[in-house]
Amino acid sequence: MSKTLDVVVGAQFGSEAKGHVVQRLTERLQPGGMPQVVRVAGPNAGHTGYDAGGQPWALRQVPVAAVTDGPAVLGIAAGSEIDLPVLLDEYDRLRDAGLMRNKMLWVHGEATMITDLHKQIEAGGLMRDPVAQAVYPDLVKQIGSTGKGIGAARASRIMRESGYRLVDNPSAMEHLEDRGIAIARHDHRTASLHEHTIIEGTQGYGLGLHAGFYPQCTSSNCRAVDFMAMAGIHPWEFEKTRVWAVARMFPIRVAGNSGPLRNETTWEELGLPEEHTTVTKKVRRVGYPDWELVRQAVQANGGAPTVRLAITMADQMFPNMRDCTFDELDGEDWRHFDQYKSEIERQTHAQVGLVTTGPNKANFIYPGMA
């Protein structure tokens, strides 16, 4: 059986619409197959997908492929962090909407549990004396953290503190098993069982721990190789491995002291409505295109031809493309976009393989891309 691995990564500072790309890749495979979609990392990132009725689902734990009509196997990897109330709420709402009827969800027993203590640590609210504050800074204020406890949970795991694995929490496992959610064990070979696996990465290259923006970064690296390690998947198990580096037209960063954003501007100057972060609901900072950052992301993820670009929200720069497929564009609109696409490819040293023009519109450009 020939097997393919697609890894979806962010090429900027997150919120690049990776969920949209994962959903489109999944739907392209479902007519004749049952792809496996594995989510990695923690619930500090919200990925939005739209069900067949047009309802948006901003999911922080369950893979966004849950909202597709077709069958799929969904996984939450060992290298992930679990906020149990968030996971249970998402699953219950998806199930009640009928979206889980043809899907199976597993969660790896080695995943790390997030507690209220971890959230308090990141918000600087654990202790108030000066010594404690030096050890447990307010990451929300200092570096623009989402404060969802992911970094603190990872620190607990690194320090080998007991009780923070899913398998160490019988009550948590019982809640999952009562819903029919499988608990994966050490010998769970997720990749071996499926012809096509998609890894749903989180955050973005510029938020990586070693991407050069420290300390305004997340608590791990955000490349395909990092996500494969989190998922327990190795690339040589597949005949074909592809990386989709997702970049939006106008890159964003979260509000507050979240780090540098080259060519920063305002939503008003761009003539676009303000955007708010999925998780924290804060107004996003926005900048003009920075294709040099995307080029760095492409190289960090292995370069072309393995890496191809998914350009999202093209309609923000080319309004006539809104909700259009390419064959619906008139000649002049297509020429303008095609010229700009060629410039993107020249600057990033990678081919554009997918372009989105609205929440439910995506265009695969080159044959065989998915």
In which order are the strands placed within the sheet that holds 264-265?
A: 252-253, 285-287, 264-265
Question: pLDDT tens digits for 266-309?
Answer: 999 999 999 987 667 788 999 999 999 999 999 999 999 999 99
Average pLDDT (215-226) is: 92
Give the span between the Cα atoms of 330 and 343, in whole angstroms: 20
Question: pLDDT tens digits for 174-190?
Answer: 999 999 999 998 655 55
By C-alpha distance, which of 125, 135, 128 is closest to 159? Answer: 135
Structure tokens at 262: 């080259």
- Tell me, what's the pLDDT at 193? 65
- Number of structural domains in the chain: 1
For residue 167, the SS3 value is helix
Q: Is 62 part of a structural domain of the chain? A: yes
281: left (phi over 0), alpha (psi -120 to 50) or beta: left
By C-alpha distance, which of 228, 248, 340, 334 is closest to 294? Answer: 248
User: Average pLDDT, whole number, for the chain?
Assistant: 89
pLDDT band, residue 143 (cuts 50/70/90): very low
Q: How far apart are the first and last CA of the chain?
A: 17
Structure tokens at 79: 């290298």
Q: Are 329 and 320 in contact (CB under 8 A)?
A: yes
By C-alpha distance, which of 37, 45, 40 is closest to 14? Answer: 45
Average pLDDT (252-258) is: 89
By C-alpha distance, which of 257, 143, 267, 278 is closest to 202? Answer: 278
Q: Is 146 part of a structural domain of the chain? A: yes
pLDDT band, residue 255 (cuts 50/70/90): confident
Q: Is 369 part of a structural domain of the chain? A: no
Q: What is the CATH number of the domain that holds 102?
A: 3.40.440.10
Q: Is 14 part of a structural domain of the chain? A: yes
Q: Is 106 part of a structural domain of the chain? A: yes
By C-alpha distance, which of 5, 157, 171 is closest to 79? Answer: 157
Q: Is 308 part of a structural domain of the chain? A: yes
Q: Which of 137-151, 225-239, 251-265 has the lowest mean pLDDT?
A: 137-151
Over 80: is that where the pLDDT of 129 sits?
no
Q: Is 84 part of a structural domain of the chain? A: yes
pTM: 0.90
Average pLDDT (87-104) is: 97
Q: Is 268 part of a structural domain of the chain? A: yes
By C-alpha distance, which of 102, 11, 57, 23 is closest to 293? Answer: 11
Residues spanned by the domain of 298:
4-364
Over 50: is that where the pLDDT of 345 sits?
yes
Question: pLDDT tens digits for 39-64?
Answer: 998 898 789 999 999 999 999 999 99
By C-alpha distance, which of 122, 125, 115, 166 is closest to 147? Answer: 122
The one-letter code for the residue type at 219 is: S
- Tell me, what's the pLDDT at 90? 98
By C-alpha distance, which of 8, 44, 22, 10 is closest to 204? Answer: 10
